[in-house]
Structure 1
Amino acid sequence: MRRIEFYNREKETMELARILSTDPTLVTFIYGPINSGKTELITNLIKTLPKSQKVFYINLRGRFISNYDEFIKVLFDVEHEARYERIKEFLKPVVNVLPESYSGIPIPKDLFLKLFKEKEVEDAFVYIETVIRAFYKDDYPPVLVIDELQVIGDLKVDDLLIYKLFNFFVRLTKELHLAHVFVASSDSLFIEQVYSEAMLEGRCRYLLVDDFDCGTTMDFLDEYGFTDVEKEVAWDYCGGKPIYLVELINTEENRKEKAEEMLGIRIGQIEGLIEDAREFGYKLSYGEERIVLDDAHILKSLEEFRDLDYIKASELSKSVKLGLIKANILFLDSVKQIIKPQSRLDLLAIREVIADA
């Protein structure tokens, strides 16, 4: 399988560069449909930063977090004894010997165990602030990245942890100008929840990482020798969804057949959800509320996309909106307040499903 290089996020990269060229003032939400390239953008950003600018990158993808203990484990990169000895003295003023990027906030094992035992989230935040102060250099504030933050959406510890966490982020950015904080998520409903619960008005900004537009898609596929016919097939079926385009790139024979296979799979997945809703009800939770959707609810909502690529967010009921976004069929752009299918493939699948209903 060939290696697919990071490709042409010039607009988003320039915006990140602009943010990083100024003092930290706002928390930045990096949002977009699933598999649109948010993590790739962040990874590329980390690679291009000066070595003197330290990065703390915490990816919550695939982590099960249901309580404080698990949250603390994910938040920190425990410095085990051998590595700790090599560094000689943790948080020593000469920090150039330390790695440019960490998979969490570095911490000596004994201190980590103390925090873990006492379970004081405020103590954890004080420690993180201390570390960031030690790594701060003129013109190069540290960068803190939390990827897939929605994983902690239901986590509560004696008070709403999200509120405490984001108020800490506001302290690092707007109050102290100590670190750039980026939070990435494809769950725009969760971002709206965070914005409301953490009272972030005037304290955050949004950066959309969407699927490629048509021109970028064509140029991208040119890099991998697609014919004009193959490029047309790719756009018609997959739009600019990077992960689907990569599937076609790695399928060197009969790419139209592969695209049709991908569409068939997506149709089956959506039909399966509707069938489950018909027989058992599609169940989901939102805060303290328990929501149950039947197949009629879902089909009526999908009908909105028979002739439209997107609709206003207000045109769907709250319950259906929650259900279809949580199922990764629809995407809410919380800035533009529009709802659209997660991809071109999803749009085609939706239209096939409602045509057969």
Structure 2
Amino acid sequence: MRKWKVNSLLFLAVVCLSWGMSGAAVAGREVYRIDLSGLSALDLNVEANARQAWDTAHLVVSIQGIVNRDAPRLLIRAMPRPDDFWFEQFVAPGAWLDGATVRSVEEPLQLLEIFGDLFNGVVIYSEEPAAASNLASTIAGVEDRLCLRWDPAPESVCQRVLGSGLSFVGDVLDLRPVLAGVGEGLVPGTHLPSSGSAKCDAYQWLKAHYLDTGRCSEEYMANYIDAYWLRHPGISAFSNATLFNHDFFIAQRAFFFDLHVWGDEPPVDDPGQALGTDVQTLHGIMRSMYEQAKGEIIHIGGFTPWAWKYTDHGIAGGGHGPVDTEWQYAKIISTYNGIMDADALGFSGMSNASFYQHFPL
């Protein structure tokens, strides 16, 4: 029987408060905490701010997922009210972190020096195709690499990391040349014919090299919006970009995806694809995951990003309502024994699950 890790604030609240947050104290352990709450205060309608927020969060959650995989080492203060509440509960006398040394980290690049021995390299992606950001999160978990969106500006997160001089940074997996030419010919590195869609070919490449080969988790998947978010960052709070949710699934080496569930219309993020290409790709991914899981239940985090894609809401460009789309998504994943751990809008940002998973229940 599988050991299920719980990614639920509600369940954590009931259990931890009823037990006095005691668990087993982590006496003598060093815990690091970084404050990223300022990202949520940025005006996301300013392009530079949106990219700063995305790039910073994606880097730090990839760090967090890797370093928290085996032990609770790094906390993020992403949303002050919930994150401060739980932190105060954990450090109270007799509680889980009572006796631990909590060290504040002022700047994300400090984390590279603190935890550098745990990283094998970096994975660089471009926001075209936007799906490449989810490829990066998948690879981060499987290969212990840090996620960097390519940006040539000297002050960018990408260039600051690459210029840090740390040894692991020299091991670069650059997805830009890997995905060059997707959408025509063959899916890169395979004998598979192109789907005609750069987005879907990117996922086919990821499936062939990471899922079909058994390198990803056979238990967890993650359905979160890709870098298409950068086209419309200002329509909701930054927490709803759901990057802060990635850490847990990176820790589990989950396969990340973001695909349409309706076959009667093209998705707004790839309007030129043949009808049904997204859906066909999703079925192929789920079928492979079902085989990897040997028919067991598959825990799928995340939710259809209905405010941005795939529905008739606002700018999302679809013809189906958000609730109908939720049901269609449930229908598809349940066919393959998938269950929905739905981080759905509006309070969809859930930080630190990779840390909380170690609370002894």
- TM-score, structure 1 length as denominator? 0.26
**Greater fraction strand:** 1
- TM-score, structure 2 length as denominator? 0.25
Please identify the structure whose Cα radius of gyration is greater. Answer: 1
**Greater fraction helix:** 1
